Structure 1
């Protein structure tokens, strides 16, 4: 008799729209099962999931024996628990803006010596190719421009006030290093953070991020990725790639309609790549 295949146990940290989607998808998948679900507000779990799946104290995560932990809550989770997660399981960081804090990135990279630290590609088209160029040292520049309707942003000051002033014309809210943007828009620029991690020879300080608020873009999120490679840039003979990703988005949505499916695909890839940092 063939031995029954062991299901991978998934811990879900966060139970907003994305966490709920992942919970239902994992529960229905033949190769995966729920290890636990944690949410900062426990009342939000009542009546939605069985009590045996609820983890009240995130510090007790190891008692549920997860194979992979998926964070879809807040960047602060990685700072507080990321290294602990990596001692026991693979860890998928759904809020990679956390790594814009240099000490958080350093601790997580160091902790990923026994299990894998996985970064979802999200809306970053061509992330694997960017990472390959970074590995070879041929990546010379990367700029990611995200354009959304003003209502689709969740921002901190001073970008919050600048976005509130948008009326009938598009306004550039920020154009500069991704490291400086992440704490101002932690819920909106995870794609940029993923790009900075993939482009590890450039990092958060040299990867550029541009955030544009466009009142005409009511049903879409646009993500443009500009990659610069080797060559003679002054003579116009350098390698370059430009892509524009158009993601449908409901009015007022922080994340586009394709985000949930993309995160699930990343989660299903977040295993068996060994220690280290992996784009998934």
Structure 2
């Protein structure tokens, strides 16, 4: 007997949302339940009218197995617990969980369905989570380097980025919790790291954001991990990975991240209640 296709609702129809909608419709194991976008006019002629959801509160009527958010961190704030009451939920903007109250409420709501965090450009997440589970993870730092045009920033970071001319500039170096509200579209990788490294969390995982005008075709993500041993005497487990992600000039999201996100979506099922990396 053939398996029943999983019904997936997509919240957001930007570049990543369009990619996921197209991929879902190509597959026999998935069925598109709905697409919602802040401006439904953007869906006209691109998504069949029957699949356009105009009021997100009506998602319950579409009998979804999985809701995928690729819109904005505010979606989790407004709808996250409600989604989890009826379906699995994959948070495409995990920077939202830098809000400690929201993180707590989503964890509390994931009692029947699973809350899924896509790894995106975060390399080695499962290994880091295993270390966190054992309590052997001592420190974690994620450094993201992009061209100045690839950032969507607010406040002081935006002002500093506007001054970048011919040399790399460190825009931020500190806790991931402090960075997420200032660059919610750029540091989802760091948020995923903070959730994987749950014994450290958003306050103790360190994030560094670098604006490099020479980096026109790439996004670079460095993940540095310290485990068992003595960090002070440099006799602790240490691992550093460097990921060079091809990116269109000025793009917020690197090209390889699209395929990674699709793989995460395909893996976001059957893990039961609780919080899961995918």
Whether TM-score is above 0.5 comes out as yes
CA distance in 1, matches of 2:171, 2:233: 32
- RMSD of aligned C-alpha atoms? 0.6
2:245 paired with 1:251: no
Unaligned runs of 5+ in 2: none
Name the structure 2 match of 1:101. Answer: 99
Name the structure 2 match of 1:132. Answer: 130
CA distance in 2, matches of 1:6, 1:123: 31
* 138, 141, 153: which one aligns with 2:139: 141
Deviating runs (4+, > 6 A) in structure 1? Answer: none
Name the structure 2 match of 1:31. Answer: 29
Shift of 1:73: 0.1
Superposed CA offset, 1:66-105 (max 9, x none): 0000000000000100000000100000000000001110
Superposed CA offset, 1:237-280 (max 9, x none): 11010000000001100010111111100000000000000000
Equivalent positions of 1:16-165 (< 5 A) are 16-165=14-163
Q: Secondary structure at the match of 1:261?
A: helix
Name the structure 1 match of 2:207. Answer: 209
TM-score (norm 1): 0.98
Q: Secondary structure at the match of 2:127?
A: helix
Shift of 1:129: 0.4
What number of residue pairs does the alignment pair up?
Answer: 278
Superposed CA offset, 1:111-168 (max 9, x none): 0000000000011100000000000000000000000000010000110010000001
Superposed CA offset, 1:196-254 (max 9, x none): 00000000000000000000111000000000111022332110100000000011000
CA distance in 1, matches of 2:268, 2:56: 21
Name the structure 2 match of 1:12. Answer: 10
Name the structure 2 match of 1:263. Answer: 261
Name the structure 2 match of 1:241. Answer: 239
Superposed CA offset, 1:166-185 (max 9, x none): 00110000000000000000
